[in-house]
Every structure is written in C-alpha cells, then in structure tokens.
C-alpha cells in the first residue's frame, strides 16, 4: 500500500495514496466541516464549506476533492479559511428562507448547525430569493425547492444507491432546481417513495409528509377505537429520535409512550410479520411442489414493490402475493379483531408506526381495502412519532417498560428480525425447516444471510431439499438480482429484497442521521431483541395459531386470500409524458 505523509495543522498524518485531505484529517481526528459531501457518493467540492489552506497553492482548496500529497502542509483553521467558509455559508443563506423556527428540520439541520457553529449573526448579502412551488403531490415525500442548497446528495442516493434516477438538476445558475423531469411533482415521476433522499437532505428541502394532525384528531375523537402497530425496526430507532444512543432497544418505553398518547390498544406489526412467514412460507412450499413461478421474491417492502412495478413489470409473477405485515395487520384489525372485541369496524382506526415513507403510499393503494374500509388509516414514520412524543412532553427514556396488548402483541424473535436485511429470509428458513422436516431446528442463527453485504447467497438443506436463497438490499442490488432473473441465470428458490440500505432499520422514515455506522448498530440491536425472546420461530406464535384456529382456518386458505394476499400493477415508466 503506497502511502503519503502530510501535515495537517502541524500534525503529521500518513494515509493511503489517493485519500483526500478531508478523509486524511478525519483519520487524524481533525474535523473539517462539510455540507455537500457524502462519503463515496457525492464528492463534488461545490459548497466550499470544507475549504482549507494548502501551502504553496494559489488559492484555498476544497478538502473533500483534493488528494493528500506527499509533504503537503494543510491548515484547516486560519483567519482566511474561516472567513472564506463564512462567506460561502452567507452566500448559501442569502438564498435560503429564514424559517428555521417553523421548519420540520429545526434543530436537526446541517445548514442551521453550520451557521450556528460559524457564529453567523448577519448575512451581508441581500437579493432575490428563488421562488418555487411546493411539491406535495406524493403521499410520502414533500419537496420544498426553496430550502434546497443544491448539494445534490439526494440525486446521488437516488441514482447511485437506488438506481431510480427520479430527480436531477434542472435549469442552470440561479434557476437551478432538483426535480423530476419537466419540474413535475414526485407523484408523476418513477419515484418509489423510499425516502432515502430525505435521510441525506441536509435541510428541510426533502422531508416526509407530516400526518401527525390526523392521528391527534383520531385520538381526540371519543367514537374512534384507535389501535396502533409498531414496525419491527422502530423499537431500535425511536430512542435515537428521543435523544438516546444509536442502537438503543426501547420496545418497552415505546409501548408505554404510545399508551400515554392515548391509543386504545398498542399492538405490534411483529404479529403480522409472524403471520407473513406462515403465509409466505406455505406459498413458497406450494410453488416448489406445484411447479409455480420461481424464484419467489418477498413483498414486504413497498418501495421495492413500486420499483418492480415500474422497472420490471414483466416479472411481477415472481412476487409473493402476500401483503406486507402492515397491510395484513390493517385487514385483520378491521375484521378479526373488531369482531373479537365487539367493535364496529367502522370505528376502528388503524395507525402504523413505520421506519418508512413508502408505507404511506402503500396504505393508499387501491388494493389495500379488503376489510371493506381503508385497512390502514394513517402511517407515521419514526420521525413523526418522535415529534408527537415531544409535543406530548414525554420523558421517553425515563418511562417504565410496558408490554404490548393481546392478541396482536404476542410475537416472536423471527418477526423482530424483519427489520434487518436478511431477517425475513432467516425467519422463513426457521419455519420452513421445521414445517418440512418435522424436526426441531437446533441452530437458529443463519449467519450467512445476515450483515450489510449487498447481495448474500446461501444454499440451505431443508430435509434433503437444497433450497437456494438470495438476499439483497438497496434497489441497486435488487436491480442486479432482477437482471439475473431476466436473463435466466438465477437458480434461486427464494429471494428477499429490501428497498433501503440495511433493510427497514435504514428506512427513509428513520431518525436523521442514518448512516452506515448507525445502521450497523440498529442491526446489532435487532438481533439482540431476537436472541432474548422466548419464542423465536413464527409458527410457534400461539396468537398466530389461535388466529388460524378461530378465523383463518389454514395458511393460503379462503380467508387468507381475501384478506392477506394481493395483486400488483404494471406501471408505465415516466407517466408525466
């Protein structure tokens, strides 16, 4: 490994050749501020916030794009550097609305934090401000171009991680705007509403559609029986939004806090995750035994579903017909549960707490009203829920741990791991093995399908049948798998695909920041949740067994088809034509 040695602020630093000044400084524990920079994804040097002095250079250099050179002398903190950074920030602020107090990203905004740390008390430049229409055309994501600093981090994630390319810079100079083609709304683009752009947006230019008011109204309505479900990934992320360390497991506090908001029942999406394993597991077995379409691909992730509908509509038959756990929950809450509790289903109001912006879109799909009502009434992202907790003045970390309500609060570890990439696969394998072989599975941890590698493959011996499986997360990796299916190279039986990096724990509705390191901590937490559960296999969930006994009869039965399965839509590309 060739190295270079340079001095940064009089510290000698030796780094691998090709390392930028910015990364070299970070390795040495010297922090250079950045705004447009996103490691490995968006390295443009355009915002000029990372300017440093390099001895002998004609002018200040952007540390994020300048390679460290042998013998280089870098100063990251001198009067000219501070002045230049300040000027750059002032110029950005001169075209930014001063709406910090009312902004959805207030106190969690990179631009605000930079202005604060540079002590900017006045912006010397006054002039015209860009005026752009607010794009709230989509059910999931709001685009406010007036708050955009044109860093292009959203474009980089959409293009390089998700390969969706729904947005790009349009026009030039002052008129530049990051938008779908022809500056249309996101609803008209091939946007899958994954919300990864909202995670990397440094300001309030891209954010989740805020539906809190609907939930407050429902909670205040005495006629409504308001039930809430919490997605697997939220129990290891809500804590972050409430000021706790990344990877904090807060299941008990989450339940307690939801009760304090006034929900009539606090249920768990993990319950229908277990149910998904039953339905999807039997569907897989059925397909293998009857020569059905293989490989079968999971259908829990609504961003992934919209992606395949747009980009691979001819391969929709590969999708499992199972609804996502969120939608199974909604359909059962307004049928089985309402019946059991003796409540008019018209009065049952279902709120979902999801790590996901695309879930809002999913809840609004035509197919998702098999109970005779909108199966799920409102979807809140983790971020929105944290705002409700703050509004209610809850001391979240100090709350006593409470238990979920029966029956939809009885769950297994197999369901919890749905929140991490590979989790659905692992849960399915645990059940498939035992159902097919009739033997008890000794080693429950399928390490080969865990972790942050983009595409994971394994062959699992299930009672003499070698089951070939693959697990992919991010749509970029999903695309690679789909191309292999299209060309006939893929010989898998079962594939798990999750839209977001790391799976749902890295979803577009999760607390900001959500970076690689934080994703890894949440994943570790979710496997900790699993390992501490008494029940760790979906088919052992007694409430699921009771549901089949009293209501559904059997997996893939008539009622299941009616309530728990769905169909997909072939979507055209570029509907804005």
Partner 1 sequence: MFPANPQYHYEKEVEPKVISSMPTTPEPVLARVDSIIAQHRETLGALMPILQGIQQELGWIPEAAMHRVAEALSMPPDKVYSVVSFYTLFSTKPKGKYVIRVCESAPCHVEGAAAIIAELEKQLNIKMGEVTPDRQFSLEFTSCVGICGVAPAIMVNDEVHGNLTPAMVSQVLSKYK
367 catalytic, yes or no? yes
Shortest distance, CB of residue 163 to partner 1, whole angstroms?
10
| Site for partner 1 contains 360 (CB under 8 A) | yes
Q: Which is nearer to partner 1, 243 or 372 (CB)?
A: 372
Angle between helices 382-391 and 212-220 (to 10 degrees): 50
Q: Which is nearer to partner 1, 125 or 182 (CB)?
A: 182
Q: Which of 108, 114, 64 is nearest to 87 (CA)?
A: 114
Shortest distance, CB of residue 269 to partner 1, whole angstroms?
18
Binding residue (CB under 8 A) for partner 1 from 304, 307, 336, 361: 361
d(Cα 136, Cα 423) in Å, to the nearest integer?
33
Residues in CB range of 33: below 8 A, 6 or more apart: 49, 50, 85, 114, 117
Q: Is there a contact between 495 and 470 (Cβ–Cβ < 8 Å)? A: yes
Question: Catalytic: which of 504, 521, 537, 538?
Answer: 504
Binders of partner 1 among residues 517 to 576 (CB under 8 A) are: 574, 576
359 catalytic, yes or no? yes
Q: How far is CA 527 from the centre of its chain?
A: 18
Question: Catalytic: which of 53, 208, 279, 362?
Answer: 362
Stretch that binds partner 1, among 112-120, 371-379, 400-408, 463-471 (CB under 8 A): 371-379
Binding residue (CB under 8 A) for partner 1 from 23, 53, 208, 211: 211
d(Cα 561, Cα 489) in Å, to the nearest integer?
31
Shortest distance, CB of residue 373 to partner 1, whole angstroms?
9
499 catalytic, yes or no? no
Quickly count: other Cβ atoms within 10 Å of residue 18's Cβ: 10
Question: Catalytic: which of 301, 320, 371, 538?
Answer: 320
Q: Which is nearer to partner 1, 108 or 137 (CB)?
A: 137
Q: Is there a contact between 226 and 351 (Cβ–Cβ < 8 Å)? A: yes
| Site for partner 1 contains 371 (CB under 8 A) | no
Question: Catalytic: which of 159, 367, 540, 546?
Answer: 367
Residues in CB range of 205: below 8 A, 6 or more apart: 143, 144, 145, 146, 147, 148, 149, 154, 178
Shortest distance, CB of residue 487 to partner 1, whole angstroms?
17
Question: Catalytic: which of 194, 300, 499, 500?
Answer: 300
Shortest distance, CB of residue 374 to partner 1, whole angstroms?
4
Shortest distance, CB of residue 406 to partner 1, whole angstroms?
27
Binding residue (CB under 8 A) for partner 1 from 23, 190, 240, 268: 190
Shortest distance, CB of residue 346 to partner 1, whole angstroms?
13
Q: Is there a contact between 507 and 238 (Cβ–Cβ < 8 Å)? A: no
Residues in CB range of 339: below 8 A, 6 or more apart: none
Q: Which of 284, 313, 259, 312 is nearest to 467 (CA)?
A: 284
d(Cα 558, Cα 577) in Å, to the nearest integer?
41
Shortest distance, CB of residue 271 to partner 1, whole angstroms?
22
Binding residue (CB under 8 A) for partner 1 from 364, 451, 454, 557: 364
Binders of partner 1 among residues 113 to 152 (CB under 8 A) are: 133, 135-139
Question: Catalytic: which of 53, 279, 280, 384?
Answer: 280
Phi then psi for 18, rounded to 5 degrees? 95, -15
β pairing state of 61-62 and 51-54: antiparallel
283 catalytic, yes or no? yes
Binding mask 150-189 for partner 1 (x = CB under 8 A): ---------------xxxxxxxx------xxxxxxx-xxx
β pairing state of 177-179 and 378-381: unpaired
Distances (CA, A) of 51 to 33, 62, 87, 286: 9, 4, 11, 61
300 catalytic, yes or no? yes
Binding residue (CB under 8 A) for partner 1 from 368, 471, 472, 500: 368
Total residues at interface with partner 1 (CB under 8 A)? 43
Tokens of 283: 């569907």
Instruction: Name the residues that contact partner 1, by CB under 8 A.
Output: 133, 135-139, 165-172, 179-185, 187-190, 211, 214, 360-361, 363-369, 374, 376-378, 574, 576-577
- For the annotated catalytic residues, the residue numbers are 280, 283, 300, 320, 359, 362, 367, 504
């Amino acid at each position: 490994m060739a190295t270079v040695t340079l001095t940064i602020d009089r510290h000698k630093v030796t780094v691998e050749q090709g390392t930028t000044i910015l990364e070299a400084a970070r390795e040495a524990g010297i922090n250079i501020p950045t705004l447009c920079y996103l490691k490995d994804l968006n390295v443009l040097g355009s915002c000029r916030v990372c300017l440093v002095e390099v001895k002998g250079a004609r002018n200040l250099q952007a540390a994020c794009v300048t390679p460290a050179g042998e013998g280089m002398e870098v100063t990251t903190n001198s009067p000219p550097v501070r002045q230049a950074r300040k000027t750059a920030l002032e110029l950005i602020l001169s075209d930014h609305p001063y709406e910090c107090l009312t902004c959805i990203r207030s106190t969690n905004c990179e631009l605000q934090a930079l202005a604060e740390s540079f002590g900017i008390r006045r912006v010397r430049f006054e002039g015209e401000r860009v005026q752009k229409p607010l794009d709230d055309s989509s059910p999931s994501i709001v685009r406010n171009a007036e708050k955009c600093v044109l860093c292009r981090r959203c474009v980089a994630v959409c293009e390089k991680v998700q390969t969706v390319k729904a947005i790009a810079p349009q026009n030039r100079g002052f008129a530049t705007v990051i938008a779908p083609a022809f500056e249309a709304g996101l609803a008209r683009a091939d946007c899958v509403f994954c919300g990864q752009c909202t995670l990397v947006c440094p300001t309030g230019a891209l954010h989740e559609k805020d539906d809190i008011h609907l939930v407050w109204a429902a909670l205040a309505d005495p006629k409504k029986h308001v039930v809430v479900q919490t997605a697997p990934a939220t129990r290891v992320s809500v804590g972050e939004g409430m000021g706790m360390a990344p990877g904090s497991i807060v299941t008990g506090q989450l339940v307690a806090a939801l009760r304090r908001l006034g929900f009539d029942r606090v249920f768990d999406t993990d319950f229908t995750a277990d149910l998904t394993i039953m339905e999807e597991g039997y569907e897989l077995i059925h397909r293998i035994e009857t020569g059905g379409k293989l490989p079968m691909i999971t259908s829990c992730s609504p961003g992934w579903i919209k992606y395949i509908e747009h980009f691979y509509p001819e391969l929709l038959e590969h999708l499992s017909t199972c609804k996502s756990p969120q939608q199974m929950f909604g359909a059962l809450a307004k049928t089985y549960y309402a019946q059991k509790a003796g409540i008019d289903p018209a009065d049952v109001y279902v709120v979902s707490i999801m790590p996901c912006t695309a879930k809002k879109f999913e809840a609004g799909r035509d197919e998702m009203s098999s109970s005779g009502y909108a199966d799920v009434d409102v979807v809140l992202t983790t971020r929105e829920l944290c705002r409700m907790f703050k509004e209610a003045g809850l001391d979240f970390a100090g709350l006593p741990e409470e238990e979920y309500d029966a029956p939809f609060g009885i769950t297994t570890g197999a369901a919890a791991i749905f929140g991490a990439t590979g989790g659905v696969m692992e849960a399915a394998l645990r059940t498939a093995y035992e159902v097919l072989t009739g033997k008890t599975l000794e080693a429950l941890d399928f390490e080969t399908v865990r972790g942050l590698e983009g595409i994971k493959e394994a062959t699992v011996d299930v009672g003499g049948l070698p089951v070939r499986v693959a697990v992919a997360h991010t749509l970029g990796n999903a695309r690679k798998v789909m191309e292999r299916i299209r060309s006939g190279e893929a010989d898998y039986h079962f594939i798990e695909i999750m839209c977001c990096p790391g799976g749902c724990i890295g979803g577009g509705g999760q607390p900001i920041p959500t970076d690689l390191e934080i994703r890894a901590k949440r994943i570790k937490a979710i496997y900790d949740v699993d390992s501490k559960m008494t029940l760790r296999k979906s088919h052992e969930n007694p409430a699921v067994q009771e549901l089949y006994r009293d209501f559904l009869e059997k997996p893939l039965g008539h009622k299941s088809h009616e309530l728990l399965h769905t169909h997909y839509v072939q979507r055209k590309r570029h509907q804005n034509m």
